[in-house]
Structure 1
Amino acid sequence: MKRKILYFHNGKSTFVEKDIEILKTQFEVIEFYFDVRNKKGIFTQFIKQIFFIFKHFKVKLFVTQFGGYHSFFPSLFKVLFYKIHVLVLSGTDCVAFPSISYGNFYKKYLRWFTKFSITKASYLLPVSKELIYSSYTYQNMDFSCQGVLCHIKKCTTPYKVIYYGYNYNKWYSSPNKEKNSFVTIAADLSTRFGIYLKGIDLILDIAPFYPNCSFYIVGGKTIKNQQNISNNVYLVDKMNPQQLSEFLSNKQFYFQLSMSEGFPNALCEAMLSSCVPIVSNVSSMPFIIEDSGFVLMKKDINELKTIMDNALTCSNFELLQKKARSRIEQNFPLEKRKEMLIQTIKDIISD
């Protein structure tokens, strides 16, 4: 009989679904969805979560995807009833960006719940080491560091980095890539922070200087005030995975100019599609792309122009394409995350 896990999440994103599938190979996974879309309903969600935990009180192992309101009671039950709480950290739960009102550690109440969850958890599983601590120099309007140890100085919760993994067979490169094509993928662009968080503001600013290039923003249909956008910028609706695979396959470059990231899935999937990456000097992204693309060290339009010029005239473009795909295929396969996640949880249980 498989051992049971209570699995808590606040939305079934692609990586949540992947981890649930992985865990189901070795455990019986009992899910709880904590709906945070309506802030006024948080208290109701807490009540439902408490009843859910008591209903399955014999289950000793809790896994929570992301820190936040929904990770509070799993950590509290760990303290009160000696449960095992494994907390997966992914990005926004480890940062604070006051300049754009973003991050769990920016928001007063969410900061408290996140801090309690992290410090009282049994074990942390960040998807990159930068989520534990990293210096931050991309722009100077916010903290000079980010990560758990930046915002919780004395946190002693043990952790292990387990990168996201990708099924590289689902992504491919077209032999006929659209010349001078740039693409980025973003969600929540209608929010007060979305455009700045994902670096869409830079893309909109740079596009008029390159009229012979095409700039595609997948998820861009939700951008407000579209009337001043250059006519070589194409706002594309969200796509399902199959549509996205086909779309990325014939694009040359991929932008990820975010102010904050954890371990960006869209970047890795674009690299598997042989898109040459252009990323900001933020979190894990320089590590992810290594020498397969270009890094924008500072949030500066002139520096981005220099990178654009270099990218459009580079003589080793085909080599960079091969390096981009190989980097993800060789270092971040889905099977590797599966093996590490299962083994780590088994080790935690045995301790």
Structure 2
Amino acid sequence: MLFERLQIIGLLSLIIIGCGSSSDENINNEFPNDDKENIIEEVIVNIEPIDSIWVSGSENVITHWNEDILIPSVTGLLTLNLDDNGYIDEQNLIVEHPSYLVEVQGNTIASLQGNKIIFYHYDGLTLNELYQTEPEELRQVPFTSQNNCFYWVALNKVSSPLSTVKEMCHVGGEFISNSIITTDKLINNIIALPDNRFVTTSTIDSNNFISLYKKESDVFQIKSTVKEDGVSILLDLEYKNDYLYADLGPTDIPDHQGEGGFIRYNLAGNTISDRLKLSDIMTDNAQYDHIAVSPDGIILANDKKLKHFIISNGIIEKIVYAEIENSISSVYVHGHYIVLVLRDPPSSFSTGVHGASGVHIYSLKELL
């Protein structure tokens, strides 16, 4: 009898141990629903803009040159300078510059204008054209830059390959061009990393992929690819400390949670791994430029929502959340301040309800 009891106790112990080990198999996929609130502190705050100014256009990326904030628009390149308290101290509109997609490296500004890329020299006051590429069909998505080189996506709908990532480096006063990546997938977004690596998001047959490349012997070699199931589109990308942040999901259904969400991937070891869902998707009316790196973590700005993920050593310690007075078109962190471009969401066109729009400046410390 004693032997039988020991057998039963042993079997129960094995069952308990077995159950415990299998529950951790997908621990990196996302936060467990029952642990999410216990692990991460979420704080809701109220924030008000310090200053604002009107800017034209339906979509506006935000970048900088030295201390100047650069915002391309329909009417020209808007340049802003903030004082020590976050107020707009100086502003200028360079009307000769109509593009809404730009990248900056040193004193060179690259502008995607329809079917060509135009490069300018910028001295803080004026733009002088330096070079422009031959006309071809270009993907109308944000391009990227690193180490005096600019990258964009060209399309070939007649023959293979469909998508080509092109590189233009401005070195010693010369422009040197090269085709670095080709694929039959439709490339939707790209980001150049500071360590000779490169990330693309692409689509084929309604399937979405994220691919990591590394430059070896002057050639970009593919190192890792992951497939995102059930995602309609990969919206925006940002990179910090070996982590890739991606906003995945639908863009055309107001207040629809959908698939995807705000996802983080680990890129250490030249492998895309440790997929971690940080947040459900927030309704979006912007196609790009709504993830921004901050000194303390990463910011997701989408719809009328602003979320600051405070991160230390790869661990998300706190999420600070704020409601904004209108839909956010783009976000940028400039020193101690958050720069937002606000737009009316698509749904407001049918309701006739309009909110604050244009460039709005907020204090970053209020979102800590």
Q: Calculate the TM-score normalised by the size of structure 2.
A: 0.26
Larger Rg: 2
Point out the structure with the larger helix share. 1
Return the structure number with greater strand share: 2
